[in-house]
Amino acid sequence: MAKEAVLESVYEKEELLTGCQAVSHAVRLADVDVIAAYPIRPYTEVMDYISKLIADGKFDAEYIVADSEHSQFEIVKHAASVGARAFAGSSGTGWMYGFEAIVVTATDRLPVVAMVGNRALDDPGAFGVEHNDALSVRDLGWLLVWAATAQEALDTTLIAYRVAEDPKVAMPCAVALDGAFLTHSQHMVKVPTVQAAKRFLPPYNLGSRRLHPDNPISIAPQVNEDWLMEIRRQNFEATKRAKGIIYQAYKEFNEVFKTNYEQPFFEEYMTEDAEAVLLGLGTISMPAKSAVRRLREKGKKVGFVRLRWFRPFPTEELRSCLSRFKGIGVVDRDLSYGSPDLGGVVFNEVRSCLYPLEEHPRVVNFIAGLGGREISIDDAVMMYEQSLRATKEPSDARVTWVGVRE
Amino acid sequence: MSFIPEEQIKKKLFKGVHDVPGEELYTSGHRTCQGCESALVMRQFVKAAGPRTVATGSTGCMYVANTSYMTTPWVVPWMHTQLGAGGSSAVGMAAGLRAMMRKGKITNEKINVISFCGDIGGGDMGLSGISGALQTDYDLLIILYDNESAANTDIQATGLTTWGAQTTFTPTGTKHRVMQKRWKKNVAAMLAVGHPTVKYVATACATFPPLDFMNKVTKALETGGPTFIHSLDPCPKGWDYHPRYSHEVGELAIKSGIFPLYEIANGVVTYNYDARKNRIPVKEYLLNQGRFAHFTNAETDFVQSMVDEMWEEWELPGILPVKSSLKVST
């Protein structure tokens, strides 16, 4: 009864939506002013859906089909500079084509929100998910978050605007959705009302940094060695502050929508007495959670940790969480050629996060599901078994490629 | 867009220097070279546009030499943009302003959106984005200030450098006298021909004829929609001549016909200097500049022959490089 009342007041409807469609609704609910599109799958469906919302008069925004991803991201960057709320997105090498603009969006401190429909980087061509596209912004000031369900994609996009536009942060945010597995798979999604979204998300206000004749400022003049370090430090501090703002934003979100986001940065699943856990991003949670349930039936003490926010990285929180386990298997849907121990990006970040602990859990790495290859429940079971084994008999095999034909 | 009051759009043309406002909107604080004509382009375009303007500048010498941290010359709001973002930065600003005005988030008024880029930003790397911008229906003006080199990175050849010129990427040598073998792109005409919905495209030189460039900026902003102006800016450092002669070098470029001066307004072409007749020999322009000091008669004759061909054989003299009249295959 109480739950239904809430549904009535803050949600307009509940319907079957893909991840892309859910993000589109968030963009509409955020009353975004400028949207720039350019085709590359799998992110494209978000623009298909937004353009239809605009065509049908359900959403009012300037919608531009750009000539390239570079122009796409320059358009939204400059729209944000005059005080307009802006949205763009891309996938794979499209994201890389826009990269110059993506870099300066962060260094100009313009809180654009972009969706990345994760896709393998060419060559050879593959439409399926791989995380290297989105991970490429990890050192650039962009906030970076992964969603695992369509509902979470909608919620996270609204939260992304709230965090990115906070005057204490003013940094762009990338919302990553696994290509196909989330961008194009349907879930039941509760769509908030415009009023509720407004209650949660304050208007975008760039304040004294807005480019307008009433505020005649010069943005990004040449600084050279005289000032660059100080400006870098300011941006760096902003990304640090984002952590606190993320906690605040989820708290506010929970209050308005009666949701249950406890720890914004990661989700724990059946970890309470776990000896070994897998850790991964995005839709890996589906096979991982199924495997946990299967193994629990057999009395194996395993759980799953799904990292949502990769930037800012929840160092202390994750360190304290992971220190409870004996074995950790990090699943990377990405590659880092020639990296320490030849492991994935997430693996090496997690290991680095755990380094200050006196006693380390055993951390192993799985390279899995590249180019959109499915990670099956059996794959996940195998990864759990190997992670459990590693707690008892450490071997030198730190990195395993799952299911690769050799 | 039609919701801007008409009286904010109408502007008067400058008939004499006394019509030009004394107020400087591009003022002290820049570090451009003596005799820099691109700096003059900056000063004049913003004078013509007035204070209700937002501008972006692509990377180039008018970024690096103009705006050092804490010493900006810009009185109007200005923002740096990337080398290939001359078109897209203008679209972004124009779209942002239009959306917010329509939704009542900011006051409804005419704000000029101007983006400027150098010859790489306008003629090479940025072409795709400018083409995209010219397909929109936003009110914006893109100014290509062309000093025929990557002037701020130490004078490297671009797609708009005059054939045969010495640059740091195209030096003269004992085996190859000429390394810059590309004929200058006809950017304004290419954009005008390729974007039939654009209502105003022009070429210009900031000093010749006097007031011509400022009036073209005025007309572009008044015409509305996406518009484009390509100005040729003599550069003492890159072209190697004494800074006191910048205006004269520009005038010689126009009078020799090597840089055709025209405007295309609503499909009507006007020559602002008619180089079909009274052309002066192009070597009077070339030999004033150190970048052509290695030229022999063979090179000057070649450039002259190309210039003559432009004016005497092209379908639209100096503009449209089609030599024979229309043929239809049966």
Cis peptide before B196 (omega within 30 of 0): no
| CA–CA separation, A282 and A178 (whole Å) | 6
The answer to whether residue A220 neighbours chain B at the CB level (below 8 Å) is: yes
A147: distance to nearest CA of chain B, Å?
28
Residue at A195 is within a domain = yes
Looking at the DSSP bridge assignments, the partners of residue A306 are: A267, A280
More confident residue, A258 or A395: A258
Chain B hits for A81, CB-CB cut-off 8 Å, are 79, 92-93, 96
Residue A225 has pLDDT above 80, yes or no: yes
A171: distance to nearest CA of chain B, Å?
17
Binary contact (A81, B96; C-beta < 8 A): yes
Cβ neighbour number for residue B46 with a 10 Å cutoff: 26
Q: Is residue A101 very low, low, confident or very high in pLDDT (cuts 50, 70, 90)?
A: very high
Residue A1 has pLDDT above 60, yes or no: no
Residue where the block lists tokens 């009864």: A1
Binary contact (A34, B92; C-beta < 8 A): yes
Q: Do the beta carbons of residue B214 and residue B221 sit within 8 Å? A: no
A70: distance to nearest CA of chain B, Å?
8
> What are the structural domain ranges in chain B?
6-313
Edge to edge, what strands does the sheet with A276-281 contain?
A266-269, A302-307, A276-281, A327-332, A362-367, A399-401
The residue of chain A nearest to residue B70, with distances taken between CA atoms, is: A221
pLDDT (average), residues A175-203: 97
Q: Is residue A203 very low, low, confident or very high in pLDDT (cuts 50, 70, 90)?
A: very high
Binary contact (B91, A60; C-beta < 8 A): no
The partner residue sitting opposite B77, judged by closest CB among A74, A217, A222, is A217
Residue A362 shares a structural domain with residue A391: yes
Residue A129 shares a structural domain with residue A160: yes
Q: Which of A215, A234, A257 is the last residue of a domain?
A: A257
Q: Please name the fold of domain B6-313.
A: Rossmann fold (3.40.50)
The partner residue sitting opposite A213, judged by closest CB among B67, B77, B80, is B77
Residue A179 shares a structural domain with residue A236: yes
Average pLDDT over chain A reads: 96
Residue A335 shares a structural domain with residue A222: no
What was the pLDDT predicted at A9? 86
Per-residue pLDDT of chain B (330 residues; tens, 9 = 90+): 445 666 666 678 999 999 999 999 999 999 999 999 999 999 999 999 999 999 999 999 999 999 988 889 999 999 999 999 999 999 999 999 999 999 999 999 999 999 999 999 999 999 999 999 999 999 999 999 999 999 989 999 999 999 999 999 999 999 999 999 999 999 999 999 999 999 999 999 999 999 999 999 999 999 999 999 999 999 999 999 999 999 999 999 999 999 999 999 999 999 999 999 989 999 999 999 999 999 999 999 999 999 999 999 999 999 999 887 777 887
Residue A8 has pLDDT above 60, yes or no: no
- With vertex at residue B319, the alpha carbon angle to CA B317 and CA B324, rounded to the nearest 5 degrees, is 60
- CATH number at A325 reads 3.40.50.920
Residue in B148, B150, B107, B266 with CA at minimum distance from that of residue B201: B266
Residue A250 shares a structural domain with residue A299: no
Residue A101 shares a structural domain with residue A16: yes
Residue A247 shares a structural domain with residue A272: no
Chain A hits for B79, CB-CB cut-off 8 Å, are 78, 81, 108, 211, 218-220
pLDDT (average), residues A47-57: 98
Q: Is residue A401 very low, low, confident or very high in pLDDT (cuts 50, 70, 90)?
A: very high
In three state form, how does the secondary structure of chain A look? Answer: CHHHHHHHHHEEEEEEEEHHHHHHHHHHHCCCCEEEECCCCCCCHHHHHHHHHHHCCCCCCEEEECCCHHHHHHHHHHHHHCCCCEEEEECHHHHHHCHHHHHHHHHCCCCCEEEEEECCCCCCCCCCCCCHHHHCCCCCCCEEEECCCHHHHHHHHHHHHHHHCCCCCCCCEEEEEECCCCCCCEEEEEEECHHHHHHHCCCCCCHHHCCECCECCEECCECHHHHHHHHHHHHHHHHHHHHHHHHHHHHHHHHHHCCCCCCCCEEEECCCCCCEEEEEEHHHHHHHHHHHHHHHHCCCCEEEEEECEEECCCHHHHHHHHCCCCEEEEEECCCCCCCHHHCCHHHHHHHHHHCCCCCCCEEEEEECCHHHCCCCHHHHHHHHHHHHHHHHCCCCCCEEECCCCC
What was the pLDDT predicted at B7? 65
Residue at A406 is within a domain = no
pLDDT (average), residues A333-359: 97
Residue-number span of the structural domain to which A371 is assigned? 266-401
What was the pLDDT predicted at B2? 46
Residue in B174, B172, B150 with CA at minimum distance from that of residue B235: B150
Residue A371 has pLDDT above 90, yes or no: yes
Burial of B22 (0-12, 13-18, 19+ CB in 10 A): exposed
Q: Per-residue pLDDT tens for A60-73?
A: 999 999 999 999 99
What was the pLDDT predicted at B63? 94
Binary contact (A220, B79; C-beta < 8 A): yes
| CA–CA separation, A176 and A180 (whole Å) | 12
Residue A117 shares a structural domain with residue A220: yes
What was the pLDDT predicted at B326? 73
Does ipTM exceed 0.90? Answer: yes
Residue A68 shares a structural domain with residue A113: yes
Q: Is residue A75 very low, low, confident or very high in pLDDT (cuts 50, 70, 90)?
A: very high
The partner residue sitting opposite A219, judged by closest CB among B71, B80, B106, is B80
Residue A175 has pLDDT above 50, yes or no: yes
Residues 101-120, chain A, touching B (beta carbon < 8 A) = 101, 104, 108
Q: Which of A204, A229, A257 is the last residue of a domain?
A: A257
Q: Is B281 helix (H, G, I), strand (E, B) or coil?
A: coil
What was the pLDDT predicted at B1? 45
Chain B hits for A110, CB-CB cut-off 8 Å, are none
- CATH number at A77 reads 3.40.50.970
What was the pLDDT predicted at A5? 55
The answer to whether residue A54 neighbours chain B at the CB level (below 8 Å) is: no
What was the pLDDT predicted at B23? 93
Residues 6+ apart with CB under 8 A from A403: A368, A373, A379
Cβ neighbour number for residue B232 with a 10 Å cutoff: 29
Residue A10 shares a structural domain with residue A154: yes
Q: Per-residue pLDDT tens for A246-304?
A: 999 999 999 999 999 999 999 999 999 999 999 999 999 999 999 999 999 999 999 99
The rounded radius of gyration (Å) of the Cα atoms in chain A is 21
Chain A hits for B27, CB-CB cut-off 8 Å, are none
Residue A136 shares a structural domain with residue A246: yes
Q: Which of A257, A279, A310 is the last residue of a domain?
A: A257
Residue A109 has pLDDT above 60, yes or no: yes
What was the pLDDT predicted at A394? 73
| CA–CA separation, A141 and A298 (whole Å) | 44
Residue A251 shares a structural domain with residue A339: no
0.80 cut: is pTM over it? yes
